[in-house]
Amino acid sequence: MFKLLKRGECYAPKFLGKKDILVAFNKIYKIDENIATDNLIDVEIIDCTDKIICPGFIDQHLHITGGGGEEGFVSRIPEIKFSDILTAGITTVVGLLGFDSITRNVEGLLAKARALETEGLNTYIYTGSYGIPTATITGKVIKDITLIDKVIGVGEIAISDHRSSHPTIDMLKEIACEARTGGLLSNKAGIVHIHVGDGKKGLKPLIELVEDSDYPMEMFVPTHLNRNKNLFYQSLQFAKSGGNIDFTSGESSETGYSVPDALELVLKEKVPIERVTVSSDGNGSIPSKGTGIEVGKVYQLFEDIRVSILERKLDLEKVLKTVTENVAKRIKLYPQKGVLAEGSDGDILIINKEDFSINSVLIGGKKFIDNGKVVKRGFYENCQL
């Protein structure tokens, strides 16, 4: 019923110092110097000495039904396993389709999001796919966002990519109109999540769209902006003028910038960190030197954050923000998620300070990883225990 996390170094992601955190049922009930347990029954005390406590990561770009398919049917990537997401320290995901909206659909995406939720994860989805007209359940983006609980926006709509429909500014405006109106009607984020490819124009179509309309800049979240160096520097300017920018884990610094490199440059260039998020693009296809393409690992998100903090010694608060608070704000889940605060959901990571490895994961106050061991797996994973 109660869990008391004792004496951990709390990053909310703002640094709070050494605190006790009392979780009651699925919520954080209290954060204080020293919380007494005398009057509580059924309380589990978790010693967090030499541990960092932070909010569970939020991944706003995960191909939960599998991406890929660019090299024929054999290259279609299978659906993701619950424990693969869990062991990456991710407690909330936004699932999305991507390139293939012919052999996959938003209905399947919704079903997978519901399955992962039953298994224990917090899940949302974007309706849509790369192309315009885009894939939907009801036939209209606005109806999907307004009427389907899990749909919080549209994406990933592709621009500047040979696999995109090369949308005109007017086509993008129409999609934005549906997302904006659907978001307002249902009190959701209503964002347009935009895949930016290696194409010639980079962020230009989005910049033109923002300049030529009255849509608020914060409703657009362009991603993969660290995939090449030109695009990266274009994105820093975009963020400085108030735009959101999202980096993808696993990118290499040979062609673009890895996440640790990208975050280091962001801090050096004094880009407002509030504008920056990082997502995994996990379970999608990524270019590979040997085989052409391979499956993007969802765990790479945690690894990139670990390297940024442990090896690059970047500001822990700022780095954590990019996968917790900033994402929660972007997709309108803040302050319910993305932060350690009284009244927030009990989605919590306990991290071993020494090597920044995952010690325990709580989702909605329930323990899913305990002292490095997965204690609750997905529906078809139990046989592997």
d(CA 67, CA 179): 23
| Backbone dihedral angles phi then psi of residue 344, each to the nearest 5 degrees | -80, 165
Which residue type occupies 325? E
Interface ranges with Zn ion (CB under 5 A): 156, 195
Q: Which is nearer to Zn ion, 164 or 344 (CB)?
A: 164
Question: How large is the greatest C-alpha to C-alpha distance in the chain, in angstroms?
Answer: 65
The length of the chain in residues reads 385
Confirm if 199 and 159 have CB atoms less than 8 A apart: yes
d(CA 263, CA 260): 5
- Write down the catalytic residue from 281, 304, 345, 347: 281
Q: How far is CA 217 from CA 201, 292, 327, in A?
A: 19, 36, 15
d(CA 379, CA 78): 16
d(CA 287, CA 300): 15
281 is catalytic: yes
Confirm if 349 and 368 have CB atoms less than 8 A apart: no
Q: In the structure encoding, which two tokens stand for residue 235, read together? A: 């994105």
- Annotated catalytic residues are 281
